[in-house]
Structure 1
Amino acid sequence: MTLYFLYALIAVTAVQLLYFLLFSLFAFEKKKRSKPQNLPVSVIVCAKNEAKNLNTLIPQLLQQAYQSFEIVLINDASSDETLEIMEQFEAENNTIKIVNVENNEAFWGNKKYALTLGIKAAKNDYLVFTDADCVPASKSWLAEITQHFSSTKKIIIGYGAYARKKHSFLNLLIRFETLMAAVQAFSYTKLGIPYTAVGRNMAYHRSEFFRVNGFINHIKIRSGDDDLFIKDAATGKNTAICYSQNSVTISQPKTSFKAWFRQKRRHVSTATHYKFIHKFLLGLFYSSQVAFWALTIFVLCTNMWLFALGLLGIRIAIQYLVIGISANKLKEQDTLYLLPFLELFLLMVQFGIFIANKISKPTHWK
């Protein structure tokens, strides 16, 4: 009987190594140098009750070292001073345009409705998106992300990092999860089957939005203005990735496990609407991770423990190599110190999210 468990462990280890081979598409990708294009760009920020964060974000957007851009600020029916803050900046800067969205009974609390109005109001065809609660990592953020546009590349997927907090396991876990999500997103894009992006750092040409009729296919789903749009519009031919140090956006992470768990529930809930191929591959990766650790622990407790130890060593070595190079590219090297423990803890969290979402629906943009 023990021999069968060993065979199963060998099989799932092989599956895991195939995934790390897939992730190496990003890890070992060589950067291609592109020249700045200075395309006319509209930076779109959709904000709901973000008065405090806008006071931080808008000045940094205005300081971008870029020749031709406007900032489209969308007030999505805020109940705080968000609109007033926007108007103050608009009065002092002619590069700012405000789209004030009032509550609409048919689209109550739907961010996609507000974004659609903002996209239609934008004067430029090249659109760059970010969120009110994050900031660009540098003044060349716009120049870095727009240089990936070309005659064929109309959608750009960027990296949205989280700020570091010293002596915080939760912060380390959040950034490790973000790193792994980015490695998968970038690798699948390199493979030619892009499936997701983060709304706090992505860009696309207006024509791509209207080609798929905007968010119409998932307008009734509260979340997914980023990944579900990618599902409809992105292909291996029209999508590029951008991860240079100056192209990153930085957000403040949640400071409590409960708040982060609630946030991840919202994000994960959209995955049920992905294409079958993506759901299958993502599900297989997760299930093979769980199976690998469960079988490893079991076989280590038998007389076959030496074989299990060898497979564990091979798997961890390959993981450290591929994820390590990726972490170095995205400046998340400190997440490697506790990699196996972070992976195991994250697997438990993801299982908890799965159970919680089965029991009740997560809350969304209000």
Structure 2
Amino acid sequence: MLFDFSPAIWLLLACVLVQLYYAAYYFLPFANRPPEPEPDEAAAQPVSVLVCAHNELENLRRLLPLLLQQEYPAGFEIVLIDDRSSDDTFLYVQQLVQYYPNVRLVTIDRTPAGLAPKKYALTLGIKTARYPQLLFTDADCIPATNHWLSRMQHGFRQPADMVLGYSAYAPEEGFLNKLIRFETLLTGGQYLSFAWRGKPYMGVGRNLAYTRQVFTSTKGFASHIRSLSGDDDLLVQDAVARGARVAVVAEPGAHTLSEPSQTWTAWWRQKRRHLSAGRRYRLSDRLRLGNFIGSNLLFYGVSAAALFSRPDWIPLAGLWVVRTAMVCFTYQRLSRRLDDPLPVALLPVLDVVYFFYYFALGMSLFLYRTLRWK
């Protein structure tokens, strides 16, 4: 009988339709949107760029000169927060302070018991900053261009209280690097396109801007000051709940570039920290993300079971062809929009590995919740 398929095939079809919805409503319209306008220098305002560093001397030697070279006529300061470093970070930044009046140093000797070290350090840095507009990056990042600052600050004139940017990882040899970049592309596609559709739920601290008023309205990191993760996404959650307006700046000139983890273990620990904040998201955001991630995980799980049913092989193959074509087309368009290219032929493989890796991470957090920080 025509269309007399097993329940497994109908379930797989439902999963594919859910994923098609996300591609058609969120990812592809965002990927195909026109380029953002050039920044209006006449309307620019001074900005404070904040960098928190813990034993990051070599990274700071690379980052700080690039920040000082930013082309931003409105003026800016760099607030370097030395968070309990035992290397020569203090001496290096002190030398810069003598030559560059817009470089300022905040030194943290100790973190009060029970508080998240980075959030405590950022709080003191924000209190020290001179200007109401704040732009954040990490010590192990670099701006993609000398116009990073001006492009990110242009987002405030949409108008907005928070600006979400994209932070890519440097391409290197090896499968792990490609998987890390795929995960970054997929995550970026989610939070940027959702925000563009008016559903902001997170940002990344490697490339994030907000006003001092936003930080004050959320009482800083007060709601999650004891949680190691969430200095970026949980702050966005709190700010949006209080009515903050969020803009997206996704032009390649506004990106930052980071060094990826070199080992599977290091990446595992990093992703555990990031994923742990998700349980604090608003219910609507958890459902929106859960539908997307769950439909992908369910598709792979049911597909594996359907392989043992010979009558399901033909419709299973058809659904795999449709979904694979969708994955390749959608993620290729996202990678082009975000200037973060990956081999198209490898995208289906990366998709399979990533979602099984995500499932393993979720199980790990459920069974073992202890996290590590620097």
TM-score range for the pair, normalised by the shorter chain length = over 0.9
TM-score by length of 1: 0.94
Shift in Å at residue 2 of structure 1?
5.7
Indicate which of 338, 354, 358 corresponds to 2:366. Answer: 358
Indicate which of 349, 355, 365 corresponds to 1:347. Answer: 355
Q: Per-residue displacement from partner, 1:189-220 (whole Å, max 9, x unpaired)? A: 02211111110101111111111111111111
Unaligned ranges ≥5, structure 2: none
1:41-56 to structure 2, matched below 5 A, reads 41-56=47-62
Name 2:166's counterpart in structure 1: 159
Name 2:66's counterpart in structure 1: 60
Shift in Å at residue 159 of structure 1?
0.5
Indicate which of 313, 320, 324 corresponds to 1:305. Answer: 313
Answer yes or no: is the 8 Å Cα contact 1:25–1:190 preserved in 2.
no
Shift in Å at residue 34 of structure 1?
4.1
Indicate which of 89, 96, 116 corresponds to 2:96. Answer: 89
Name 1:14's counterpart in structure 2: 17
- Provide the alpha-carbon RMSD of the alignment: 1.8
Q: Does residue 24 of the first structure (1) align with residue 28 of the second (2)?
A: yes
Unaligned ranges ≥5, structure 1: none
| 302-311 vs 261-270, which moves further | 302-311
Name 1:36's counterpart in structure 2: 40
Q: Per-residue displacement from partner, 1:144-169 (whole Å, max 9, x unpaired)? A: 11111126311110011100102x10
Q: Per-residue displacement from partner, 1:239-285 (whole Å, max 9, x unpaired)? A: 11111111111111011111111111111111111111111222222
Note closer, same or farther for the CA distance 1:219–1:345 as it changes in structure 2 (3 Å cut). same
Name 1:79's counterpart in structure 2: 86
Shift in Å at residue 292 of structure 1?
1.2
Note closer, same or farther for the CA distance 1:336–1:237 as it changes in structure 2 (3 Å cut). farther
Equivalent residue letter for 2:131: N
Query: Which aligned runs of 4 or more in structure 1 are off by greater than 6 angstroms?
Result: none
Answer yes or no: is the 8 Å Cα contact 1:57–1:134 preserved in 2.
yes
SS in structure 1 of the partner of residue 231 of structure 2: coil
Matched residues in 2 for 1:173 and 1:282: separation?
20
SS in structure 2 of the partner of residue 74 of structure 1: strand
Matched residues in 1 for 2:140 and 2:363: separation?
29
Answer yes or no: is the 8 Å Cα contact 1:157–1:198 preserved in 2.
yes
Shift in Å at residue 183 of structure 1?
0.3
SS in structure 2 of the partner of residue 149 of structure 1: helix
Matched residues in 1 for 2:9 and 2:29: separation?
29
Matched residues in 2 for 1:27 and 1:94: separation?
40
Answer yes or no: is the 8 Å Cα contact 2:147–2:254 preserved in 1.
yes
Name 1:138's counterpart in structure 2: 145
Answer yes or no: is the 8 Å Cα contact 2:84–2:109 preserved in 1.
yes
Name 1:220's counterpart in structure 2: 226
Answer yes or no: is the 8 Å Cα contact 1:107–1:113 preserved in 2.
no
| Number of residue-to-residue matches in the alignment | 365
Matched residues in 2 for 1:151 and 1:321: separation?
30
Q: Per-residue displacement from partner, 1:22-51 (whole Å, max 9, x unpaired)? A: 322322222331433332010000111111
Indicate which of 116, 127, 130 corresponds to 1:123. Answer: 130
| 51-60 vs 25-34, which moves further | 25-34
Indicate which of 288, 298, 318 corresponds to 1:281. Answer: 288
- Identity of aligned pairs, percent? 38
Q: Per-residue displacement from partner, 1:267-311 (whole Å, max 9, x unpaired)? A: 111111111111122222222112212333444552232222222
Equivalent residue letter for 2:64: I
TM-score by length of 2: 0.93
Note closer, same or farther for the CA distance 1:198–1:143 as it changes in structure 2 (3 Å cut). same
